[in-house]
Structure 1
Amino acid sequence: MAVHSERVQTRSPEPGQATTRPADPEPSGPGGGRAAAGPSLLARSAPYLLLLPATLATLALLGWPLLKTVLLSFQNLNRRQLILHLTEWNGFDNYKQLLTSADFWHTTGRSIAFTLVNVVLIMAGGTLVGLLLNRLGRKMRLFLQAGLVLAWAMPIVASTTVFTWLFDSQYGVVNWLLNELGWHSMATYDWYSGQLSTFFVIVLLIVWGSIPFVAFNMYAGLTTIPAELYEAARMDGAGPVKIFTSVVFPSLRPFFLSTTFLEVIWVFKCFTQVLAINNGGPQRLTETLPVYAYIEGSGNQHYGVGSAIAVLTILMLAVLMAYYFRIILKQEDEL
């Protein structure tokens, strides 16, 4: 059989005729098909795989207790049911009891007022300390930062014990100092005998322990503001207050927003300080919602009612966080 070979001849293009270049061959994957565009499946799922251990730990440590709390809130679980191992479902009776109770609404209003006072003082004090850190020299700044870290790192129970001693009616340093300054009627004053005085000690304790967080965040934010903005404001004749309102606050608005909402959440669910200072007394007049849930649940052994209080508290915080995320998303859309 004869084999004929053809000679491929190339012809130069005629003048004025455009040259055509053959298209590059498409990349082929295994088996001769087209290669998949974009990253592989493993690369796309890598972030989710990295988040998986933390997600599972969160579900185990927080999700399961939360689910049990929700289930208990629909049960009539008191001392009798606990001893006899009875499960009595009562639907929304616990919630109806709370939502029609004057004590619950008084405690809710008290908790909101308590949160607002603390957050205002914390944000104001933390902002002032942060501005001070930005103005101090290196040595004094380190000295102040060390004091703030010590206050921030002190365990809550330890700091609560210290404040209890400071305001003790017989051996407290505060009463001794006020007596030395001339207020002799305060020598044996009982700070825990009244609602307002007890709240004064609790608020002072919470503000003292929370200011370092705001101050450090404020100082970190101030370091990101260019010095040219301060110079331009001073050239326009702006004073310290005007510089803060026209330069600092607009530049650090996301910081103020996020920190304020974090403080609202932390103060609203504050438990240890209120309980350890005076157990919600006197006469349960300083109870906040978390302490109210604990006393009703563990103290009075009304576990179903205590769980319902806890669920309602979580729902209030969830509504607040939904509003917060709405503001954050709105700001991102404006950028």
Structure 2
Amino acid sequence: MRTQSPEPGESAVAPADDVATPRAQRTPEKSGRPAGGPSLASRFTPYLLLLPAVAATVALLGWPLLKTVLLSFQNLNKRQLIQHLTEWNGLDNYTEQLTDSEFWTITLRTVVFTAVNVALIMVLGSLIGLLLDRLGRWMRLALSVSLLLAWAMPVVAATTVYTWLFDQHYGVVNWFLDKLGWHSMADFSWTSGEYSTFFVIILLIVWQSIPFVAFNVYAGLTTIPRELYEAARMDGAGSFRIFGSVIFPIMKPFFLATTFLEVIWVFKAFTQVYLINKGGPDGLTRTLPVHAFLEGFGAQRFGVGSAIAVLTILMLGALMAYYFRIILKQEDEL
């Protein structure tokens, strides 16, 4: 309401009733938001929108996982499968594996295999990500296309190509090494030994995993203000000091998340290990996923194979718990 100027001789002071009325007791003005807060429908709408995705995830992942757990408590071999018999044997499959020295040897091999791969992937991927940030427009585009082609190639196709490259008699790698003067490598069999077979497998996995890390590092670097780099250089910091004092602290959550994802992907890698040499020679390159497949479908001991798969899932679950603990600790610090 528009107020009028007081007439001469009148006081401009507000009436006593208005002054005495506390602000908290005055009638609140109407607003567009309901006084009772959000309605029940608006609160449950996000959950209803997520329901189809949750249902599909449970159907596609939860049911196979449940079946695997149930099979791990059964004695399911060829006879039971043909006769449609269900023979429950409790924890016998788990006891057999946990008391088997071969299982623990394969577990240790899988852990070492995962650690080597993840270390190489993170180091090389981070270096290429830093290189993408430094290159010019056209060179960055060329390198990005090359990384994208390696990343987009299907795993089976990439494994087949690597099998041809490292073929004993017709492989390009042996031919190239022979031309360089290493004539003993002319007919070298890369899959005849444990370490040479692992070399081919690790090279394949690292080659296909580097683009993911490189693109994410480059994307993270674009969010760092350039003023921080300039201030660090004015203080006399070199490239290593800038990475340790500027880049790594800002991108630490990214490095933790990416490392965790790479651990999961490498730990459960099956296609590359199996197609290169089927876990050979003499089972020396068996990892836990390959061991579960060979025991389940190869030896047709489906209960034992399921038990190995469940133990593998439990190990990954322990890694997830450790990762979430680190994430929660970082949130508390913030």
TM-score (ref. length: structure 2): 0.91
Change (3 A) 1:252 1:84: same
Aligned pairs for 1:80-159 (under 5 A) are 80-159=79-158
Identify which range, 15-24 or 71-80, moves more after superposition.
Answer: 15-24
CA displacement at 1:238 relative to structure 2:
1.2
1:256-288 superposed Cα distances (whole Å, 9 cap, x missing partner): 100000000000000100011110110111011
Letter in structure 2 aligned against 1:76: N
Unaligned runs of 5+ in 2: 1-12
Q: Tell me which residue corresponds to 1:314.
A: 313
Q: Tell me which residue corresponds to 2:71.
A: 72
Q: Tell me which residue corresponds to 2:322.
A: 323
The reply on whether 1:215 has 2:214 as its aligned counterpart is yes
The reply on whether 1:24 has 2:27 as its aligned counterpart is yes
Q: Secondary structure, in 3 states, of the residue corresponding to 2:269? A: coil
Q: How far apart in 1 are the matches of 2:316 and 2:250?
A: 28
Change (3 A) 1:232 1:85: same
Letter in structure 1 aligned against 2:134: R
Q: How far apart in 2 are the matches of 1:186 and 1:16?
A: 104
CA displacement at 1:247 relative to structure 2:
1.0
CA displacement at 1:36 relative to structure 2:
6.1
Letter in structure 2 aligned against 1:236: D
Unaligned runs of 5+ in 1: 1-13, 28-34
Q: Tell me which residue corresponds to 1:260.
A: 259
Letter in structure 1 aligned against 2:244: T
1:156-185 superposed Cα distances (whole Å, 9 cap, x missing partner): 000000000000000000000000000000
Q: Tell me which residue corresponds to 2:196.
A: 197
CA displacement at 1:93 relative to structure 2:
0.4
TM-score (ref. length: structure 1): 0.91
Aligned pairs for 1:241-252 (under 5 A) are 241-252=240-251
Q: How far apart in 1 are the matches of 2:218 and 2:110?
A: 30
CA displacement at 1:94 relative to structure 2:
0.4
Q: Secondary structure, in 3 states, of the residue corresponding to 1:252? A: helix
CA displacement at 1:26 relative to structure 2:
9.8
CA displacement at 1:85 relative to structure 2:
0.9
1:211-244 superposed Cα distances (whole Å, 9 cap, x missing partner): 0000000000111111111111111111111111
Q: Secondary structure, in 3 states, of the residue corresponding to 2:206? A: helix
Q: Tell me which residue corresponds to 2:50.
A: 51
Q: Tell me which residue corresponds to 1:299.
A: 298
CA displacement at 1:333 relative to structure 2:
1.4
Q: How far apart in 1 are the matches of 2:155 and 2:213?
A: 17
Q: How far apart in 2 are the matches of 1:195 and 1:114?
A: 12
Change (3 A) 1:80 1:240: same
Q: Tell me which residue corresponds to 2:284.
A: 285
CA displacement at 1:17 relative to structure 2:
4.0
Change (3 A) 1:305 1:36: farther
C-alpha RMSD of matched pairs (Å): 1.7
Change (3 A) 1:189 1:25: closer
Identify which range, 72-81 or 36-45, moves more after superposition.
Answer: 36-45
1:168-215 superposed Cα distances (whole Å, 9 cap, x missing partner): 000000000000000000000000000000000000000000000000
Letter in structure 1 aligned against 2:69: V
Q: Secondary structure, in 3 states, of the residue corresponding to 1:264? A: helix
CA displacement at 1:25 relative to structure 2:
8.0
Q: Tell me which residue corresponds to 2:233.
A: 234
Q: How far apart in 1 are the matches of 2:294 and 2:96?
A: 16
Letter in structure 2 aligned against 1:294: F
Q: How far apart in 1 are the matches of 2:81 and 2:216?
A: 47
Q: Tell me which residue corresponds to 1:3.
A: none
CA displacement at 1:15 relative to structure 2:
10
1:280-308 superposed Cα distances (whole Å, 9 cap, x missing partner): 11011101100100000011000000000
The reply on whether 1:170 has 2:173 as its aligned counterpart is no
Q: How far apart in 2 are the matches of 1:54 and 1:287?
A: 35
Q: How far apart in 2 are the matches of 1:203 and 1:15?
A: 84
Q: Secondary structure, in 3 states, of the residue corresponding to 2:282? A: coil
CA displacement at 1:84 relative to structure 2:
1.2
Q: Any runs of at least 4 consecutive aligned residues in structure 1 with deviations exceeding 6 A, and if so which?
A: none
- Corresponding pairs, count: 315
Q: How far apart in 2 are the matches of 1:36 and 1:53?
A: 32
